[in-house]
Amino acid sequence: MSIFILIASLIGGVLLSAQSSVNGAFSSKAGTLESAFLTFITGGLMLFIVVLFFGTGNFLSFLEAPKWQLAAVWFGVGYLFLTILAVPKIGIIATNLSAIIGQLSMGMLIDHFGWFGGMQIPLDLKRLLALGLMLIALRLIYQANSKEREQRIKVS
Amino acid sequence: MKVLFYALALLAGVTLSVEGAIYAVLGESIGKLESSLYNFVVGTIILGVALLFWGKGSLSYTAKAPKWQLTGGLLGIIYLTILVIGIPLIGVGMAMSSVVVGQLVMSMIIEHKGWLGSPRIKVRPEKIIAAILMVTSLFLIY
């Protein structure tokens, strides 16, 4: 069962990467906030239709949900604002890779302590080793991207 | 000074995991699709207000843009809904790890092939080693 969820999450990442290229192309002409707004409004409109016909929950009950759960929307929007601040100062590559380190470490910490009422999965040796491999991989990607940039500067 | 901006970028990543973890909880009570819908509706409102005050670009480009540039929202809703369904079953750590692996490997392919308007950059051997390390790390935590 969980192998399907793992593959689905991999596909989620693939879509996210495609989204960042698509939005990158759009935002170079229209602007960053404009691009984010378009993503949210078109996503909301499409999802509204899907929920109308296939929703099994109760959308309006979000009004009764605890405020800390509703606050999740600020984290998604917060990501956007933080990256908008960081990219001009340290570059898009360093921003993305730093964000990934934060994302992975926080994910493991949330599991370890069972924060936000989710399941508890201890941060064992295997998970630490996995995190270490990820860090090495990110370092390699950073080096490769820096070399690519140097080459492009030399060419131009 | 630069350290501050690295810290902000790190924090940006932290918000992604927190977002996923909380929406997973919200999804258990109001429904998975409904939880995603909440994010996109309220996110639209917040960004709409932000746009009013800080918008510097031109939203009117939407009408002229090639249609494929308008698919970001569709990709976003599928991504978030997968997370809302998946996180309660495999946890935040594994969900985020597989998202990151999918994302980084796909970026390499997009660049290598020059898809979606990206400049074509041949994939370097370091990146292939990185991809192998990342997949190994997924096997470790699976």
Query: Would the CB atoms of B93 and A108 count as touching at under 8 Å?
Result: yes
Please tell me whether residues A88 and A147 are part of one structural domain: yes
Span A79-105, pLDDT tens digits: 999 998 999 899 888 999 999 999 999
Query: Would the CB atoms of A37 and B82 count as touching at under 8 Å?
Result: no
Span A96-129, pLDDT tens digits: 999 999 999 999 999 999 999 888 999 999 999 9
Amino acid letter, A26: F
Q: Hey, which residues 61-120 in chain B have their CB within 8 Å of chain A?
A: 61-62, 65, 68-79, 82-83, 85-107, 110, 115-118
- Point out the domain boundary residue: A32, A64, A96: A64
Please tell me whether residues B3 and B49 are part of one structural domain: yes
Span B35-91, pLDDT tens digits: 999 999 999 999 999 999 999 999 999 999 999 999 999 999 999 999 999 999 999
* CA separation for the pair A152, B13 (Å, rounded): 28
In Å, how far are A6, B37, B82 from B27, measured between CA atoms?
19, 10, 11
Give the domain range for residue B105.
91-142
Please tell me whether residues B82 and B124 are part of one structural domain: no
* A–B CB contacts, 8 A cutoff, strictly below: 423
Contact status of A41 with chain B (Cβ, < 8 Å): yes
What pLDDT does A142 receive? 93
- Point out the domain boundary residue: B90, B115, B134: B90
Span A39-72, pLDDT tens digits: 999 999 999 999 999 999 999 999 999 999 999 9
What pLDDT does B74 receive? 97
* CA separation for the pair B134, B106 (Å, rounded): 13
Please tell me whether residues A50 and A74 are part of one structural domain: no
Give the domain range for residue A31.
1-64
ipTM of the complex: 0.93
Please tell me whether residues A128 and A148 are part of one structural domain: yes
Please tell me whether residues A54 and A14 are part of one structural domain: yes
Q: Hey, which residues 32-51 in chain B have their CB within 8 Å of chain A?
A: 32-44, 46-48, 50-51
Q: What domain count does chain A have?
A: 2
What pLDDT does B26 receive? 96
* CA separation for the pair A31, A22 (Å, rounded): 13
pLDDT category at B33 given cuts 50, 70, 90 is very high
More confident residue, A149 or A9: A9
Query: Would the CB atoms of B40 and A130 count as touching at under 8 Å?
Result: no
- Total residues belonging to chain B: 142
Span B95-126, pLDDT tens digits: 999 999 999 999 999 999 999 988 888 899 99
Please tell me whether residues A76 and A4 are part of one structural domain: no
What pLDDT does A1 receive? 66
Please tell me whether residues B57 and B107 are part of one structural domain: no
Please tell me whether residues A99 and A59 are part of one structural domain: no
Please tell me whether residues A82 and A147 are part of one structural domain: yes
What pLDDT does B71 receive? 97
pLDDT category at A156 given cuts 50, 70, 90 is low
Best mutation target among B16, B56, B138 (most A Cβ atoms within 10 Å) is B16
* CA separation for the pair A28, B16 (Å, rounded): 24
| Residue that is written with structure tokens 């500067």 in the block | A153
Q: Minimal CA–CA distance to A74: which of B139, B125, B38, B76?
A: B38
Q: What domain count does chain B have?
A: 2
Would you call A121 helix, strand, or coil by DSSP? coil
Please tell me whether residues B113 and B83 are part of one structural domain: no
**Minimum-distance CB partner of A8 among B36, B55, B82:** B82
Please tell me whether residues B81 and B97 are part of one structural domain: no
B contacts of A74 (beta carbons < 8 Å): 46
Q: Where are the alpha helices (DSSP H) in A31-62?
A: 32-54
Please tell me whether residues B44 and B101 are part of one structural domain: no
**Minimum-distance CB partner of B71 among A22, A71, A102:** A22
- Point out the domain boundary residue: A38, A64, A90: A64
What pLDDT does A122 receive? 96
Ramachandran bin of A117, using left for φ above 0, alpha for ψ from -120 to 50, beta for the remaining angles: left
What pLDDT does B112 receive? 92
* CA separation for the pair A76, B22 (Å, rounded): 11
- pTM over 0.90, yes/no: yes
**Minimum-distance CB partner of A137 among B27, B96, B130:** B130
